[in-house]
């Protein structure tokens, strides 16, 4: 019995699959029969429960939230963490083979603390990020459905194929449904198709095959919005099987690529790992050859070699990166930029191309009337005072838009723009509609692109007037007369020519035009409505615009100054798109072309890449075109950010290096797949986010330069001293303590610096694979040079001083004393110099000003955490250098009875390291600044010539 039931269920599912692309071409009766439902009674509760079990809940795919313990254990897979763990295990094995002593145990504890600290911070950061995502949730929505012959409200998740649903203006369509009855239904499908204008729906059969979604006028798709009218529909697809569900499923199955930061850290880790192994082997080899002088066991030499290898690894880099990202995430949230994936902050900072939608992001998404054309003259809407006349009546009566007392807007954007104009002129359009009742109408039709209403203007026994508004290419051929200064006269060829010229003027300004006409009627014939749109009187036209956001132009200018290219990708008309782009500064002498979706279809990828060299505006594009443009830009090694708000934008949001969704107008799908959400839908916030991203990138690079320089200095000191004196300048405990103090306590606050304004003047990376070391190699080399030089100098001076002194009676005792004091000298410099020069790792030693004398790069001011932790680090290192023999023996150097002259020399050389670094950087910065000024002046002269 159960087996037969399963076969029956399976055959029902298979039967529905056969009609997956044919629902628009089937009659209502046929659809109801296929879905085994009844329009008058709907499904029974039992049948609905059965289908819910078979088809699943009407929900979109949701990513699984990982367990906090899984996140914790996954954090140990970090490359730097793995390298540290391998080195720690090697140290443990070596120690066990020999004998674990107190210094060895201390070293292992330091390694374990660093690894554990890394993992804890990584886990907390990831967990907070996931909890932030949980703030973006869908509201629980209900649908009106026919069950057991009664209309009832249920959770939309419980809808199943075959349910009869009811929706009205303001409702979201809860599932893919075939419309079986409707009244003046218009649906906003922009979330799915990207089209701004609401679509007028029908309930008749559409026999054409292979229709795109936008042409399936008898189907209401899940998550689209009913803006006018109401409908009765029968559900045929829910959840994953709906059109929005298919997109969401496809996106959830797409693996997000690694961010550029992850690639760069992996590459840097590989380089450092190889270098550490090589240098560790070299140190062991040299130490082994000189072991007669050193006098240590092979195991001790191995421990020193392993510790030296560990010391090269920037162990705290992962912690620094996560702290930088955590701080930036909190700051950016206050600037209307919600970061869902912290690692994308660095990618956002490295973006060199922004692909932006027009409506709502670059523009205000508020259509309003900019200009009017009446009696052969153009008027600015703000400069004219309208009175009730036939044109104003047409605007009010041939219109279904409403703005209520609460400011809520109901209707399409065009109608609402006209209502806004009337309200600005204190014209009571609602009273006018009550006074002049609508007795008939011809709804807007996408082929004619006009709508008409018939209103009774003079009372029950008076005459009627047909008002028509819409596209001028339809109205002009149907107009026989024109209103000229309140006088109606026959329209002439010159009038028509003037109107066409004015239409071109408005189009070039990026405006949408709407014409108005009327026809006086003595009587009406409800069976012959074609008579309303014949022999019309032209009254005028209006130009409607969605104006650019005032602040966006300056933000785009900031983007250009920062080396970022801005591309507009929109579904709007070519002329309108180019005009808005020109106003905002997106087009210029180089990028002065526009490409449409139709043109993209006719071009090969190679031809389109060539066109991209001169094109910043793409108009009338489909969703697949957006993804293609992003893909081609990425193929040229660009780092691309893509904005979007609709379901149709989701594939390109996933494809882009940084997907940016709109927080206000964006759909839940676009928010879920994006990396960043703008809570104010403003392009300006993108630039603010890039600013923060660049600051993060800068902090990470300066942290890397500090860590690498300090670590290499330590290893080079060991190598040089081994080569010259045949001695180990530092032992394993010294090396590991350096990791704890310098790399953890001192390095971390470098990533906590405040943001600086001038960071946007830094050029973005030239390509995705650009090394993290680019731009900081000079700093690393200078720091390594001076730190190593003075550390070796300390060792040399101490060795020479003691060997030529009478501090001991025998040569052996002198050599032992010289070695102890010399090691102390190198230890003091290697440990303390980084503490002092940490404050210099910001490349901001002097303010940089422009030609007007305005500071564009502010002078560096250290943060309080850096100062506090520098003091703590200095205190710890000072404690290790106290002149106690037991402490000296643990750290393998000698400060007990240290000659005062050596102590002074050690301190001077330690301080000379940051002083020399500062002076050289100052010279370089001043030289570079002067070169930039001279170059700027020369460019100005060249332009003038």
Please list the active-site residues: 357
Q: Give Cα 501 distance to the centre of its chain.
A: 42
Half-sphere exposure for 211 (CA within 13 Å, toward CB)? 17
Contact 84, 310 (CB under 8 A): yes
Contact 624, 337 (CB under 8 A): no
**Cα angle vertex 356, ends 574, 337, to 5°?**
155
For residue 134 the two structure tokens come to 């949980």
User: What is the Cα–Cα distance from 31 to 842, expressed in whole angstroms?
Assistant: 69
Contact 511, 545 (CB under 8 A): yes
- For residue 172, what is the DSSP state? B
User: What is the Cα–Cα distance from 287 to 266, expressed in whole angstroms?
Assistant: 31
Handedness of CA 715, 717, 720, 723 (dihedral sign): negative
**Neighbouring-strand partners of residue 234:** 164, 178
User: What is the Cα–Cα distance from 24 to 702, expressed in whole angstroms?
Assistant: 61
User: What is the Cα–Cα distance from 932 to 934, expressed in whole angstroms?
Assistant: 5
b/e code 456-478 from CB counts within 10 Å (16+ = b)? bbeeeeeebbbbbbbebebbbeb
Contact 558, 758 (CB under 8 A): no
Task: Identify the H or E element spanning 693.
Answer: helix 683-725
User: What is the Cα–Cα distance from 536 to 569, expressed in whole angstroms?
Assistant: 38
- For residue 856, what is the DSSP state? E
Altogether, the residues listed in the chain come to a count of 945
- For residue 35, what is the DSSP state? T
User: What is the Cα–Cα distance from 530 to 468, expressed in whole angstroms?
Assistant: 12
Transcribe 401-423 into DSSP letters: -EE-TT--EES-HHHHHHHHHHH
User: What is the Cα–Cα distance from 619 to 624, expressed in whole angstroms?
Assistant: 13
Transcribe 250-311 into DSSP letters: HHHTSPPPPPHHHHHHHHHHHHHHHHHHHHHHHHHHHHHHTHHHH---HHHHHHHHHHHHHH
Contact 879, 828 (CB under 8 A): no
Contact 678, 661 (CB under 8 A): yes
Tell how strand 487-490 and strand 512-521 pair up.
unpaired
């Amino acid at each position: 019995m159960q087996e037969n039931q399963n076969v029956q269920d399976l055959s029902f599912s298979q039967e529905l699959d056969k009609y997956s692309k044919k629902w628009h071409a089937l009659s209502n009766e046929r659809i109801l029969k296929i879905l085994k439902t009844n329009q008058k009674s709907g499904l029974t509760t039992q049948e609905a429960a059965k289908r819910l079990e078979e088809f699943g809940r009407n929900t979109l795919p949701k990513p699984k939230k990982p367990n906090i313990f899984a996140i914790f254990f996954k954090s140990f897979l970090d490359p730097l963490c793995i390298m540290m763990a391998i080195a720690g295990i090697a140290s443990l094995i070596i120690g066990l083979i020999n004998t674990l002593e107190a210094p060895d145990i201390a070293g292992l504890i330091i390694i374990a603390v660093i690894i554990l600290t890394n993992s804890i911070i990584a886990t907390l950061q990831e967990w907070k990020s996931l909890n932030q995502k949980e703030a973006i949730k869908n509201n629980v929505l209900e649908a009106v459905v026919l069950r057991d012959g009664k209309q009832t409200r249920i959770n939309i998740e419980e809808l199943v194929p075959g349910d009869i649903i009811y929706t009205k203006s303001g409702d979201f369509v809860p599932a893919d449904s075939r419309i079986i009855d409707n009244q003046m239904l218009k649906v906003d499908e922009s979330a799915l198709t990207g089209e701004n204008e609401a679509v007028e729906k029908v309930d008749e059969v559409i026999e054409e095959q292979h229709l795109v979604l936008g042409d399936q006028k008898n189907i209401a798709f899940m998550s689209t919005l009913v803006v006018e009218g109401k409908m009765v529909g029968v559900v045929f697809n829910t959840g994953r099987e709906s059109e929005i569900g298919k997109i969401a499923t496809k996106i959830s199955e797409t693996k997000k690529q690694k961010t550029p930061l992850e690639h760069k850290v992996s590459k840097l880790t590989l380089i450092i790992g190889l270098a550490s192994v090589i240098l560790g082997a070299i140190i062991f080899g040299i130490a082994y050859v000189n072991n007669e002088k050193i006098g240590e066991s092979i195991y001790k030499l191995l421990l020193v070699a392993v510790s030296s290898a560990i010391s090269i690894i920037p162990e705290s880099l992962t912690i620094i990166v996560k702290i930088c990202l955590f701080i930036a995430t909190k700051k950016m949230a206050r600037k209307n930029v919600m970061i869902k994936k912290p690692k994308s902050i660095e990618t956002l900072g490295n973006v060199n191309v922004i692909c932006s939608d027009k409506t709502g992001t670059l523009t205000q998404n508020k259509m309003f009337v900019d200009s009017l054309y009446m009696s052969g003259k153009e008027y600015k809407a703000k400069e004219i005072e309208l009175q009730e006349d036939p044109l104003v009546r047409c605007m009010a009566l041939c219109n279904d838009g409403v703005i209520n007392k609460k400011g809520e807007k109901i209707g399409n954007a065009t109608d609402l723009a006209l209502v806004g104009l009337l309200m600005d002129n204190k014209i009571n359009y609602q009273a006018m509609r009550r006074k002049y009742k609508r007795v008939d109408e011809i709804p807007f039709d996408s082929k004619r692109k006009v709508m008409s209403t018939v209103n009774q203007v003079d009372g029950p026994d008076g005459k009627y007037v047909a008002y028509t508004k819409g596209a001028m290419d339809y109205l002009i051929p149907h107009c026989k007369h024109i209103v000229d200064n309140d006088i109606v006269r026959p329209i002439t060829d010159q009038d028509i020519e003037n109107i066409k010229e004015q239409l071109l003027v408005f189009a070039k300004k990026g405006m949408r035009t709407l014409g108005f006409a009327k026809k006086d009627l003595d009587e009406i014939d409800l069976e012959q409505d074609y008579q309303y749109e014949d022999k019309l009187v032209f009254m005028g036209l209006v130009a409607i615009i969605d104006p650019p956001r005032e602040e966006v132009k300056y933000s785009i200018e900031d983007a250009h100054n920062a080396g970022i290219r801005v591309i507009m990708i929109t579904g709007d008309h070519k002329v309108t798109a180019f005009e808005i782009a020109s106003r905002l500064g997106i087009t210029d002498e180089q990028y002065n072309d526009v490409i449409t979706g139709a043109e993209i279809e006719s071009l090969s990828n190679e031809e389109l890449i060539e066109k991209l060299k001169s094109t910043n505006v793409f108009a009338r594009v489909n969703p697949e075109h957006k993804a293609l443009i992003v893909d081609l830009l990425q193929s040229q090694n660009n780092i691309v950010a893509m904005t979007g708000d609709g379901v149709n934008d989701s594939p390109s949001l996933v494809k882009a290096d940084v997907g940016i969704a709109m927080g206000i107008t964006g759909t839940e799908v676009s928010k879920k797949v994006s990396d960043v959400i703008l809570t104010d839908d403003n392009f300006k916030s993108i630039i603010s986010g890039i600013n923060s991203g660049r600051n993060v990138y800068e902090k990470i690079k300066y942290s890397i330069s500090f860590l690498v320089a300090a670590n290499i200095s330590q290893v080079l000191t060991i190598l040089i001293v081994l080569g010259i004196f045949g001695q180990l300048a530092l032992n394993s405990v010294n090396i590991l303590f350096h990791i704890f103090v310098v790399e953890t306590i001192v390095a971390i606050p470098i990533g906590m610096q405040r943001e600086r304004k001038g960071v946007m003047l830094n050029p973005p990376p030239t390509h995705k694979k650009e090394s993290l070391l680019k731009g900081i190699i000079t700093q690393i080399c200078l720091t390594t040079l001076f730190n190593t030089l003075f550390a070796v100098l300390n060792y040399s001076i101490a060795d020479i001083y003691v060997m030529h002194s009478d501090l001991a009676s025998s040569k052996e005792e002198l050599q032992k004393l010289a070695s102890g004091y010399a090691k102390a000298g190198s230890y003091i410099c290697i440990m303390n110099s980084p503490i002092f020069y940490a404050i210099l790792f910001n490349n901001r030693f002097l303010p940089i000003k422009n030609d007007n004398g305005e500071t564009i790069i502010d002078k560096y001011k250290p943060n309080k955490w850096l100062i506090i932790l520098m003091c703590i680090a200095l205190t710890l290192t000072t404690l290790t250098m106290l002149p106690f023999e037991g402490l000296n023996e643990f750290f393998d150097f000698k400060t007990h009875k240290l000659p005062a002259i050596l102590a002074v020399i050690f301190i001077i050389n330690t301080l000379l390291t940051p002083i020399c670094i500062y002076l050289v950087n100052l010279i370089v910065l001043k030289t570079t600044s002067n070169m930039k000024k001279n170059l700027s002046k020369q460019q100005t002269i060249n332009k003038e010539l």
